[in-house]
Amino acid sequence: MRYLTLALAKGRLAELSIDLLERAGIDCSELKAKTRRLILADEKNKIRFLLVKPADVPTYVEYGAADIGIVGKDTLLEEGRDLYEVLNLGFASCKMCVAGPKELAGNTDNLTISRVATKYPEIAKEYFRHKRRESVEIIKLNGSVELAPL
């Protein structure tokens, strides 16, 4: 019998996914063990788990290295892969926002924004395109985005 291969995003999302999988009767003891292994299995149910970075989950699924994956909607939108979202699991929500100096709070419709730093450049481009602000320069950062206004 062939294994079902499931790509799981490492980190906080993996913890929530493990809880969900256990409630479905899947043995996640290997996933919960303190190990550096990235390929684990539930032999009884013939499920192989790939523990990968969240941004890589869509790639593994799209190219067939994994049959299914569990990843955040933010990653799906940002990666823009040719995938079918089977189900919104309803956990690990994320909130996107545009932040700036306190004195600019309120109505920003007439505000001229020239640059925005973000971990999600594709989502930001789409947001500003929708707001008819195509001229905004998007700067990709991988961490500590809150420091970008410096």
Question: What one-character DSSP code corresponds to residue 82?
Answer: S
- Between these two residues, 149 and 8, which has the higher pLDDT value? 8
pLDDT on residue 110: 65
Q: Can you tell me whether residue 77 is helix, strand or coil?
A: helix
pTM of the model: 0.81
The rounded distance, in Å, linking the Cα atoms of 113 and 117 is 11
As given in the structure block, the two tokens for residue 63 are 């190219």
pLDDT on residue 60: 96
Task: Kindly report, residue by residue over 29-87, the tens digit of the pLDDT.
Answer: 988 887 889 999 999 999 999 999 999 999 999 999 999 999 999 999 998 888 999 98
The arithmetic mean of pLDDT across residues 23-29, rounded, is 92
The rounded distance, in Å, linking the Cα atoms of 98 and 85 is 26
Q: Which string of DSSP letters, residue by residue, matches 73-114?
A: HHHHHHH--S---------S---------GGG-S--TT----
The arithmetic mean of pLDDT across residues 115-135, rounded, is 88
Lowest-pLDDT choice from 2-6, 104-108, 112-116, 120-124? 104-108
